[in-house]
Structure 1
Amino acid sequence: MRDIHHLVDGSSFTGGSGRFGDVFNPNTGEVQARVQLATEGEVDRAVQSAQAAFEEWSTVNPQRRARVMFEFKRLVEANMNELAELLSSEHGKVIADSKGDIQRGLEVIEFACGIPHVLKGEYTQGAGPGIDVYSMRQPLGVVAGITPFNFPAMIPMWMFGVAIAVGNTFILKPSERDPSVPVRLGELMLEAGAPKGVLNVVHGDKTAVDAILTHPLVRAVSFVGSSDIAHYVYRTGAEHGKRVQAMGGAKNHGIVLPDADMDQVIKDLTGAAYGSAGERCMALPVVVPVGQRTADELRERLVSEIPTLKVGVSTDAEAHYGPVVNAA
């Protein structure tokens, strides 16, 4: 049985909790690996590494930090096929969706490549009688991201890309359902030139989450997941003096107007509702057609279109979507 380890202080770290989570092969339902679940002390070890790295990383000039982002982007693109296959093997989404997952993350890394300009402050002379106003943008310190299973590449890159580029160091606690791609991204960040401790990946459940939310050295936390857990993360983090952004329970809704291009509507709705087996925020579980005629046409077209969709294993190039991540 393959064990998936933490990535702490620039190297693979074997935890000692003795607790593991099962990582399934969604195509068969069989357990393909075990992921280690961190103790509070192991989270602290990662935070201490990030704090030590912050002292140097925060003083590196923005241009040099941006060069690390450029190289990280190049490495992710060079390893796109490997990352997509690894992602599909644990999540179950088809390869094309996995590549889209990675590419959407890279869009934010591209933004982070231009961080020297974004970091510029402002200065206003004469804002009031004898008053000048200026602002500076400075890194906070150790920050953390708690990310969901449905986009194991995109959402971590959305979080750590900008955070690291501006001079913070980062603790990533990815979903224990599909943890291998986040570890691989951490390895590529090291290969791109980030010093050890700048990006640490720690696996875990509520124990690890609570350790992050209550740790005095973690200055800010970003979360994506269910609404109930988002409330918990925001409340607990705020109680411990952290900046928190908690995004929970996102599901888009759609409105179809009478003058809509119905061919495009059907294409968009079937792709949104069934792509990635509906495991994404854009899944559109509710669609509101305006007017009875619009509703009748929409229903008739959808009912005839749905049987043409093909479900298959994640490696099937002809499949529109693969299995859900696990039976639960």
Structure 2
Amino acid sequence: MKYGSIKNYINGKLKEAHSERTLKITSPLDGTLLAEIPCSTAADLDEAVEAARTAFPAWSKTPVKERVQVFFRYKYLLEQHLQELAALVSEENGKTMGEAVAEVEKCIELTEFATSLPQLITGEVLEVSKGVECRTSHAPLGVVASIVPFNFPAMVPNWTIPNAIALGNCMIMKPSEKVPLSLTLIAKWLKEAGLPDGVFNIVNGDSEIVNAICDHPGIEAVSFVGSTKVAKIVYRRATQNLKRCLALGGAKNHLLVLPDAKPDMTAQNIAASMSGCAGQRCMAASAMVGVGSVDHIIDKICEEARKIVPGENLGAVINRESKERIERYITEAEQQGARILVDGRGATVNGKENGTYVGPTVIDHVTPDMAVAREEIFGPVISILRTDTLDQALDIENASPYGNAASVFTQNGGMARYVMEKASAGMIGVNVGVPVPREPFSFGGWNESKFGVGDITGKSSIEFWTKLKKSTTKWNPEEGVNWMS
């Protein structure tokens, strides 16, 4: 094994888990055995929570302007070690080096936002009556937990680490059992940046630890990112235990393409959206709805898709099970009458025959009842449905149980505005294939793409990671009294 046995990170130190049960970690790029991780137990979680609870009083009392100094230094370390972290992300996740670099750059942007929190949580103050003053302040919750997925080993953890911790909380993080390596580096740099021991902890494992986090009485809030199926389970279990929970699920993002769309720009955006990170992102283009005569644009999309080559500008999917599942979706659609315009099944890369690659795939004449039109595939696959009118296209989009993102490609401002108003999704794009908001705007979908209140990043995250304290003071009883005082 290249990296040996991965340990938990508790109270500033790497620590063996109590369990002897382990899981193997292999690289999707070539099948290399990278490491093994422990399947931690509730006893391991207890130790992490105790470390966090011990650290919380001092950390929460540290002024926010001092807390964010840690993240100024952490941001510098991310910049200094960008290539090192990106290489590890690529190795354990399978994405291309360019995609991994972009992921780390997003980590830097997320951290930069956290350094601005002192200016965003100043609270409000008002003299509400003669001699009577009301003010608000944001108080941290205590010990919080974050459960993160495999598709962004560095970025999704940084959706929560900088904001939650800078706001005064102490954190337990459970990485995906498929990609635990990047977080160990992140923990190292957080400590180097001056984060006190116990403020950030990592507990590795599988569903046993997820359940333990949801049940633990010492954890006040839980964030989760993953599939909708598991998001529902986590949300129900955490809230049943009277915790705050924000659980982000899957997606089936629709790109509505009108005949007047710019062919080259549209094709480039759609091909990049459906294949970026091998389609393993909740903002990937998964279904295109062509309105009217769009064959000329579909031809261009196929041209762009054929330029995407596994092992060159297309990474691997996470494991063999994912590869087989994605290819089953394609085969089933073909058997149901859809037409495969670009076929990515059976992809291999010379010298990396044990890698798990799926080539870019474009499927035309898909009908709304097909699985490829309804379900999240999480691979480099775009399903094309056809309608006569924009309202019919919106009906398809609105019928999806998900609601992460939707985009429209057109040069007609009125049509674009109509889609922005009517689409049932939390993030909307116009001529944008991946409409992810940039900081300080927050990330979060609607419907079955998100369970809970608020968003996980940006200004909206402040309300999730803190509780509002309201104070009323009166110092001069000699002042006249009215009904408010």
Q: TM-score, normalised by structure 1?
A: 0.94
**Does the 8 Å contact 1:22/1:33 carry over to 2?**
yes
Q: How many percent identity over aligned positions? A: 39
Partner residue in 2 for 1:27 = 29
CA shift for structure 1 position 298:
2.2
CA distance in 1 between counterparts of 2:258 and 2:235 reads 37
CA distance in 2 between counterparts of 1:206 and 1:308 reads 39
Partner residue in 2 for 1:92 = 94
Q: Which moved more, 1:229-238 or 1:12-21?
A: 12-21
- 1:234-293 deviation line (CA, Å, top 9, x unaligned): 1000011111000101342211122222211111111111111111112211011221x1
CA shift for structure 1 position 84:
0.6
Provide the secondary structure at the position in 1 that maps to 2:61. coil
Partner residue in 2 for 1:223 = 224
CA distance in 1 between counterparts of 2:151 and 2:243 reads 26
CA shift for structure 1 position 99:
1.1
What is the aligned counterpart of 2:315 among 290, 305, 322? Answer: 322
Partner residue in 2 for 1:48 = 50
- 1:151-177 deviation line (CA, Å, top 9, x unaligned): 111110111110000110011101010
Q: TM-score, normalised by structure 2?
A: 0.64
CA distance in 1 between counterparts of 2:26 and 2:227 reads 21
Q: Is 1:73–2:72 an aligned residue pair?
A: no
- 1:124-157 deviation line (CA, Å, top 9, x unaligned): 333x899864321010100110000001111101
CA distance in 2 between counterparts of 1:193 and 1:121 reads 27
Larger Rg: 2
- 1:216-240 deviation line (CA, Å, top 9, x unaligned): 1100010000001100111000011
Report how many aligned residue pairs link the two structures.
319
CA distance in 2 between counterparts of 1:114 and 1:27 reads 38
Provide the secondary structure at the position in 2 that maps to 1:12. strand
What is the aligned counterpart of 1:60 among 45, 48, 62? Answer: 62
Q: How does 1:204-243 map to 2 (within 5 A)?
A: 204-243=205-244
**Does the 8 Å contact 2:267/2:298 carry over to 1?**
no
Partner residue in 1 for 2:190 = 189
Runs of 4+ in 1 over 4 A off after TM superposition: 128-133
Partner residue in 1 for 2:307 = 308
Aligned residue identity for 1:81: Q
CA distance in 1 between counterparts of 2:314 and 2:297 reads 22
After superposition, the Cα gap between the structure-2 partners of 1:246 and 1:131, relative to the gap in structure 1 and judged at 3 Å, is farther
Does 1 or 2 have the higher relative contact order (CA < 8 Å, sep 6+)? Answer: 1
Partner residue in 2 for 1:153 = 154
After superposition, the Cα gap between the structure-2 partners of 1:256 and 1:141, relative to the gap in structure 1 and judged at 3 Å, is same
Q: How does 1:273-292 map to 2 (within 5 A)?
A: 273-291=274-292
Relative to its length, the structure with more helix (as a share) is: 1
**Does the 8 Å contact 2:18/2:43 carry over to 1?**
no
Aligned residue identity for 1:239: Q
- 1:272-323 deviation line (CA, Å, top 9, x unaligned): 11111111112211011221x12x12222222322221110xxxxxx21111
CA distance in 1 between counterparts of 2:307 and 2:314 reads 12
CA distance in 2 between counterparts of 1:258 and 1:130 reads 65
CA distance in 2 between counterparts of 1:251 and 1:176 reads 24
Partner residue in 1 for 2:119 = 117
CA distance in 1 between counterparts of 2:19 and 2:187 reads 22
After superposition, the Cα gap between the structure-2 partners of 1:130 and 1:67, relative to the gap in structure 1 and judged at 3 Å, is closer
**Does the 8 Å contact 1:289/1:298 carry over to 2?**
no
Partner residue in 1 for 2:297 = 298
- 1:199-218 deviation line (CA, Å, top 9, x unaligned): 10111111111111111110
Partner residue in 1 for 2:272 = 271
CA shift for structure 1 position 95:
0.8
- RMSD over aligned CA atoms reads 1.5
CA shift for structure 1 position 37:
1.4
After superposition, the Cα gap between the structure-2 partners of 1:132 and 1:255, relative to the gap in structure 1 and judged at 3 Å, is farther
Aligned residue identity for 1:301: K
**Does the 8 Å contact 2:147/2:174 carry over to 1?**
yes
CA distance in 2 between counterparts of 1:148 and 1:192 reads 25
Partner residue in 1 for 2:135 = 134
User: Which ranges in structure 2 are unaligned for 5 or more consecutive residues?
Assistant: 322-485
CA distance in 2 between counterparts of 1:154 and 1:306 reads 26
**Does the 8 Å contact 2:268/2:301 carry over to 1?**
no
**Does the 8 Å contact 1:9/1:197 carry over to 2?**
yes
Partner residue in 1 for 2:6 = 4
